[in-house]
Amino acid sequence: KFYVPDERHAVLFTGFQAGGTRGASLVAGVKSVKIHGRHIPIRAEIANLSMLSAHADADEILTWLGNFTQPPKRTYITHGEPDASEALRVRISDELQWPCVVPEYGDQATLD
């Protein structure tokens, strides 16, 4: 909140910013953010180094899963944005022919 109002500063994000967060808003180019009850104008340069994300992408995940000696009984996708989770579920189901689900909040499963 001290640096973003000043155009002489830069805020550098180093990877994915989850939807609904201030980071995602800043990367998307908002003109102000609410911090500690005040709207702070954004004049600093905002940049994102998306290539530094610590998460594997869908291709990397499918490569890793494809090296399993036997598939799991069911694969659960429990992390990620809803659209991305669903897209990964479809790829796992289609490409690996594995049962795969994206559980809803509060769903329960028995693991054997």
- Domain contains 16: yes
User: What domain count does the chain have?
Assistant: 2
Which pLDDT tens digit goes with each residue over 34-47? 999 999 999 999 99
Cα-based distances in Å from 97 to 37, 44, 68, 100: 50, 48, 13, 9
pTM of the predicted protein model: 0.59
Measure the CA–CA gap between 16 and 77, rounded to whole angstroms.
18
Residue 88 lies in a domain: yes
Q: Which domain holds residue 25?
A: 10-52
77 and 91 within one domain: yes
Same domain, 94 and 62: yes
Task: Give percent above pLDDT 70 in the chain.
Answer: 98
